[in-house]
């Protein structure tokens, strides 16, 4: 029998915040029905209030719409326009959780002033203490929305049955949290 004590870090209760340098808020949409165009938002904040039990936890996030980055400056400018995000009138996208389970993060997503319920598949990757003594927790979440549900309906017909841009958007989150703003 071993006398060692398990000192592995845990996801403790309290406030945790996203550490942007090691997190990503991304999306994917079909172009011409042929390929996927990927993008991300470079400026965002997210806070997780971790509770015991974990199902009583909550998450809030705010994403700066003008920080959209698809690796194409002309496309990014178009996405910021009233054809898509209307970033001048609606500078932020927000998410407020309504429930958290072991494998689902559900909540209200607001884009362009329109709020819809979304469910994201959630995966917890664990907790570690880095080489500088900062405790970090990792999560992934992914789900789909229809951009038309949020008033983003710019499109152009292509060919007999196709459209320039798909309506389905995949949201992909890779989030690294640190306690209360450390890191």
Domains of the chain with bracketed CATH: 14-179 (2.40.128.110)
Residue 117 and residue 108 in contact, taking contact as beta carbons nearer than 8 Å: yes
Alpha helices in 7-154 (DSSP H): 73-80
Give percent of the chain with pLDDT exceeding 90: 57
pLDDT given at position 183: 47
**Tens digit of each residue's pLDDT (9 = 90 or more) over 129-157:** 988 988 999 999 999 989 888 887 755 54
pLDDT top residue among 35 and 82: 82
pLDDT given at position 163: 44
Average the pLDDT over 36-54 and give the result: 92
Burial class of residue 75 in the structure, from the number of CB atoms within 10 Å of its CB (0-12 exposed, 13-18 middle, 19+ buried) = middle
Residue 99 and residue 55 in contact, taking contact as beta carbons nearer than 8 Å: yes
pLDDT given at position 7: 56
Write out the H or E segment, with its range, that includes residue 117.
strand 114-129
pLDDT given at position 159: 54
Q: Is the pLDDT of residue 77 over 90?
A: yes
What is the Cα–Cα distance from 116 to 175, expressed in whole angstroms? 22
> Which pair of tokens denotes residue 47?
């806070």
Average the pLDDT over 110-135 and give the result: 93
What is the overall mean pLDDT for the chain?
86
Q: Rounded to two decimals, what is the model's pTM? A: 0.86
**Tens digit of each residue's pLDDT (9 = 90 or more) over 156-172:** 545 555 545 677 888 99
Q: CA Rg, the chain, in Å?
A: 19
Q: Residue 68's CB: how many other CB atoms inside 10 A? A: 23
DSSP state of 11: -
């Amino acid at each position: 029998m071993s006398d060692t004590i398990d000192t592995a870090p845990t996801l403790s209760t309290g406030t945790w915040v996203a550490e942007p340098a090691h997190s990503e808020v991304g999306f994917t949409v079909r172009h011409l029905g042929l390929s996927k165009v990927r993008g991300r938002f470079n400026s965002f904040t997210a806070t997780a209030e971790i509770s015991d039990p974990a199902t009583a936890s909550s998450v809030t996030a705010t994403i700066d719409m003008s920080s959209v980055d698809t690796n194409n400056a002309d496309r990014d400018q178009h996405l910021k326009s009233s054809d898509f995000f209307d970033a001048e009138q609606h500078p932020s996208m927000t998410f407020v959780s309504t429930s958290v389970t072991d494998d689902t993060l559900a909540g209200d997503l607001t884009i362009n002033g329109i709020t819809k319920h979304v469910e994201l598949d959630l995966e917890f990757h664990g907790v570690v203490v880095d080489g500088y003594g900062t405790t970090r927790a990792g999560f992934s979440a992914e789900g789909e929305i229809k951009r038309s549900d949020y008033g983003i309906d710019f499109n152009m017909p292509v060919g007999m049955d196709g459209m320039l841009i798909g309506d389905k958007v995949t949201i992909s989150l890779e989030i690294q949290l640190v306690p209360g703003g450390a890191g």
